[in-house]
Amino acid sequence: MDIEKLIERLRTESLYADKASLEIMDLCMEASTALSTLQAENENLRAELEQVTAERDAAVRQVALISQPNEPLTLEQLREMDGEPVWIANPDALGYGRWGIVDGVYQAEDDQVLMLRGDYSCHYYGKTWLAYRRPPEGENHHG
């Protein structure tokens, strides 16, 4: 039986004196109030569970990301990361990189270009620039 219907029946049918004593009527009213309270608490707990589940899933994704090897990203990987943050650095000075948001990748004649938001481009990607999911470990970062 649907909880809402049960609550309504407990409230309305308990009011008919010919069907129940005053004690039973009071008991039915208390039961309907208790069911309403439990139903509200259940809805709140379900909402809280949904939030905690979303937070857990986000944390699991972050752990998976952090546990991945931090190799330089390929152009193919970068094409799939539009709108995501990357750490960019010159291969000869990895400690002096900075964060950027991927805004596209394109191939010019002899140039592979990583575009970052804010009209910033990294020409000759793979030669003069590399991008990582996070700053390379063991480097002194100034960006």
Mean pLDDT, the chain, rounded, equals: 84
Q: Are 70 and 137 in contact (CB under 8 A)?
A: yes
Domain termination residue (choose one: 66, 88, 112): 66
Average pLDDT (16-44) is: 81
Question: Same domain for 58 and 91?
Answer: no
User: By residue range, what is the domain housing residue 8?
Assistant: 3-66
Question: Same domain for 56 and 87?
Answer: no
Question: Same domain for 7 and 62?
Answer: yes
Within-domain flag for 138:
no
Within-domain flag for 91:
yes
Question: Same domain for 37 and 87?
Answer: no
Question: Same domain for 14 and 41?
Answer: yes
Amino acid 137: pLDDT? 72
Within-domain flag for 99:
yes
Domain termination residue (choose one: 47, 66, 85): 66
Picking from 64, 140, 75, the residue whose alpha carbon sits closest to that of residue 114 is 75
Span 33-90, pLDDT tens digits: 888 898 999 999 999 999 999 999 888 887 877 777 889 999 999 999 999 999 999 8
The count of structural domains within the chain is 2
Distance CA 29, CA 115 (A): 67
Amino acid 139: pLDDT? 52
Amino acid 18: pLDDT? 64
Reply yes or no on whether the pLDDT at 141 is more than 70.
no
Span 83-132, pLDDT tens digits: 999 999 988 886 789 999 999 998 888 899 999 998 788 999 999 999 99
Name the band, by pLDDT with cuts 50, 70 and 90, for residue 15: low
Whole-prediction pTM: 0.52
Distance CA 92, CA 130 (A): 10
| Distance (Å) of CA 142 to CA 9, 84, 94, 99, 101 | 69, 21, 10, 11, 18
Within-domain flag for 20:
yes
Within-domain flag for 56:
yes
Within-domain flag for 139:
no
Question: Same domain for 60 and 81?
Answer: no
Question: Same domain for 80 and 60?
Answer: no
Question: Same domain for 94 and 117?
Answer: yes
Amino acid 14: pLDDT? 65
